[in-house]
Amino acid sequence: MAEVAMQSERFGLCITPEGTRKPNPDWKKGFYFIAQKAKLPILLFGVDYADKRIQATKVIIPNGDFETQMQEIKEYFKDFKGKIPENFVYE
């Protein structure tokens, strides 16, 4: 996927890192490594079901410090409320 991104004039990919509709503290990691390899920013789009809004106010530039940046990503999403908010886990 990273090679496709690097060869494309325009490229967009949306991945939901939780990867499930049940509580899951182990988010998928591939989105981070695709962005890092392709030298692309990660744009965080938060969907707030309660307020009926979508917000994109944070960009992460992958720097290889996966654990720290993943915690920053999870922290960003903690204030958004999903349809079933108790299913959100950000440990």
Compare 66 and 17 and report the one with higher pLDDT: 66
Q: CA 16 to CA 6: how far, in whole Å?
A: 21
Note the Cα 38 to chain centre separation in Å.
16
Contact 51, 72 (CB under 8 A): no
Residue 78 has pLDDT above 70, yes or no: yes
Phi-psi region of 29 (alpha: psi -120 to 50; beta: other; left: phi over 0): alpha
pTM score: 0.80
Model confidence pLDDT, tens digit, residues 42-77:
999 988 988 999 999 999 999 999 999 999 998 998
State the amino acid at position 39 in one-letter form.
Answer: K
